[in-house]
Amino acid sequence: MSSNHDSLAIRMGGESGEGIVTIGEVFVRVAARSGLEVFTFRTYPAEIMGGHVVYQARIGRDRVLSDGDEIDALVALNEEAYEKHIGELRPGGTLIYDSGTVHPPDDGHDHYPVPVTEISQQLDFSRGKNLVMVGALVGLHGLPMERAAEVVTSRLGKYEALLPKNLESLTRGLNHVREHFIDRLPPQLDPPPGETPERLIMTGNQAAALGALAAGCRFYSGYPITPATGLMEFMAQNLPPLGGKVVQTEDEIAAITMAMGASFAGAKAMTATSGPGFALMVEALGHASMTEVPLVVVDVQRAGPSTGMPTKTAQADLFMALYAGNDEAPRLVLAPDSVEDCFYRMIDAFNLAEAYQMPVVVLSDQAMSARVETIPDIDLSSIKLVDRLKPEPNESDNGGYRRYELTESGVSPMAIPGMPGMFYTAEGLEHSEKGAPDYTPEMHRAMTEKRHRKVDAARQLIQRLPVSDRWGDPKAEIGIMGWGSSKGAVREAMERVEASKIRVEAFYTRSLIPMPDELVRSFLKGKRAIIVPELNYRGMFANVLEHRYSREIVHNGIRIIHLPKYDGLPFRPVDICRAVHRAAIELMDGVFKEWEPGC
């Protein structure tokens, strides 16, 4: 990057319906096709029309880990966008705006007025305003026009009659920059020289859906709900060509029970929802646990109880995912921490569901589900798939098939309907080994232990899977522990902290049930304080740590520092830096009071 920038954060704002998301989506794909790394965030109103829309892209030559702390460029298509976001534009930053609708004062920033509305009117193509702005952004930031034309053609080419107008809009925006600003361009994005391979660029929802397909999922049932709908849309487009089936159900209860039925019949099946829908699925989740049916449920979390804030992010469904249900209904819970990781965790989810014949919940969130990232190539040859244990033909002899046979691991062979002699009852009542209702204390105790043994067996396997990351200074007395999409901000903050004299080490787990206990206890050794960043008010994961590892925490005098954030927005690296700074001051007698971690 030029102008001493390792990356540039560009925020675009305007009214819903003005094509803000299209500007962002096209622009970041032009950058990615030019060989750059991208990382995005979007937020928009829950209403169909009207309201303010924001799309932010951080672009760099090296891997981009978060949205950053401040924005380098603001693209305003109306006055509201200017007023809402000008305060976050860094001093001397770049202000790009539609000169027909935005009239900013002399505010100390570099101004680049583009007559977007006027140009679109000249073309008699008002819907092309967004592509006029894309052309201007391409010209201002030094991206190749041929890449921009390729992206517009590939993404909007299905509207064949409009393609010439779209491309002309793009060209007009670029030409305006060349005519008016060629001698004073803002910081450039500087694509790598020479030919670059086409980048893998996708959202978290797309990566999760792709992982499900690679894992062998052949049945998807779901009810549309923001922000999980994108996952179902991807499956609807790509699952049928593989011989699979997608069903849009009438509600979330039907979605999960239909997926259970497909799994009972032998298919690898899943559903996806958000918090309100997951709440409706809880009873059926217990039924899947009781009947020992493999099932994958993705919860793309959003902010607020009830219908809350559908288009804002949170990590506040943790307790529901871990504990919700009547009595005890064992399940496994995984949490991807990046767009790339969404792919691989879905592989694990299906493998674990099949291996242990139980529901697996995958916790994503709004920020990660809609985030666009460039990711490394996926090595499909490294993927190993697991299928459920099935009975041998002779198991129907000598007293009949025992579907719920009491085994050391808790896993018993699961017959597929139609297998000769393998008849059994599968229902929500407590049952004998053959599935017949049995309410005796002895049988309930035995079956409860059987269902929980599967979690214990999975715990041993989890220790050998890549379900956690530990990095930083192993001798550090300050630790950071977390899960999910805040990991990128923590990684970036840790890179800043490394330049100081403060020692910090971090641990992120992708498995929440079961927790990788041996790895966690190893990390806790020698720590005096653990910072736990979470996108919820109560500090749910911090509470889990305090409860599960109370012996180690109390014995070693470890202080658990809750770092909550509950405004519907992701963590910034500076949030983590400041928490580390405060912990260092409190724990180390003020030695680091003068240190400011790039805040």
pLDDT confidence of residue 594: 47
Is 595 inside a domain boundary? no
Asked whether residue 223 falls in the same domain as residue 188, the answer is no
Position 240 pLDDT exceeds 60:
yes
pLDDT band at 590 (very low <50, low <70, confident <90, very high): very low
pLDDT confidence of residue 23: 95
Position 286 pLDDT exceeds 50:
yes
pLDDT confidence of residue 595: 47
Report how many domains make up the chain: 4
Range of lowest pLDDT (253-267, 356-370, 541-555, 580-594): 580-594
pLDDT confidence of residue 55: 95
Query: Is the Cβ–Cβ distance between 409 and 456 less than 8 Å?
Result: no
Asked whether residue 118 falls in the same domain as residue 162, the answer is yes
Averaged confidence pLDDT in the chain? 93
Is 594 inside a domain boundary? no
- As a whole number of angstroms, the distance between CA 259 and CA 256 comes to 5
Mapped onto helix, strand or coil, the DSSP state of residue 421 is: coil
DSSP 377: P
pLDDT confidence of residue 197: 67
Asked whether residue 232 falls in the same domain as residue 376, the answer is yes
pTM: 0.94
Contacts of 287 (CB under 8 A, 6+ apart): 257, 260, 428
DSSP 376: P
pLDDT band at 306 (very low <50, low <70, confident <90, very high): very high
Domain endpoint, select from 154, 178, 198 = 198
Domain hosting residue 448, numbered range? 393-462
Q: Which residue carries 């840790």 as its tokens?
A: 494
pLDDT confidence of residue 3: 40
Asked whether residue 22 falls in the same domain as residue 167, the answer is yes
Asked whether residue 502 falls in the same domain as residue 574, the answer is yes
* Pairing between β-strand 269-273 and β-strand 504-509 as defined by DSSP bridges: unpaired
pLDDT band at 2 (very low <50, low <70, confident <90, very high): very low
Asked whether residue 472 falls in the same domain as residue 354, the answer is no
Share of the chain above pLDDT 90, in %: 83
At 33-84, the pLDDT tens digits run 999 999 999 987 766 556 899 999 999 988 899 999 999 999 999 999 999 9
- For residue 523, the domain's CATH number is 3.40.50.920
- For residue 83, the domain's CATH number is 3.40.920.10
pLDDT band at 17 (very low <50, low <70, confident <90, very high): confident
Position 31 pLDDT exceeds 70:
yes
- As a whole number of angstroms, the distance between CA 8 and CA 382 comes to 34
pLDDT confidence of residue 104: 95
Asked whether residue 254 falls in the same domain as residue 370, the answer is yes
Asked whether residue 36 falls in the same domain as residue 125, the answer is yes
Average pLDDT over residues 451-477: 92
**Closest-CA residue to 541 (of 556, 561, 517, 521):** 561
Share of the chain above pLDDT 70, in %: 95
- As a whole number of angstroms, the distance between CA 17 and CA 344 comes to 35
Position 417 pLDDT exceeds 90:
yes
Asked whether residue 35 falls in the same domain as residue 64, the answer is yes
Tell me whether residue 92 is exposed, middle or buried, using C-beta atoms within 10 angstroms of its C-beta: 0 to 12, 13 to 18, 19 or more.
exposed
pLDDT confidence of residue 396: 62
Asked whether residue 256 falls in the same domain as residue 322, the answer is yes
Asked whether residue 141 falls in the same domain as residue 276, the answer is no
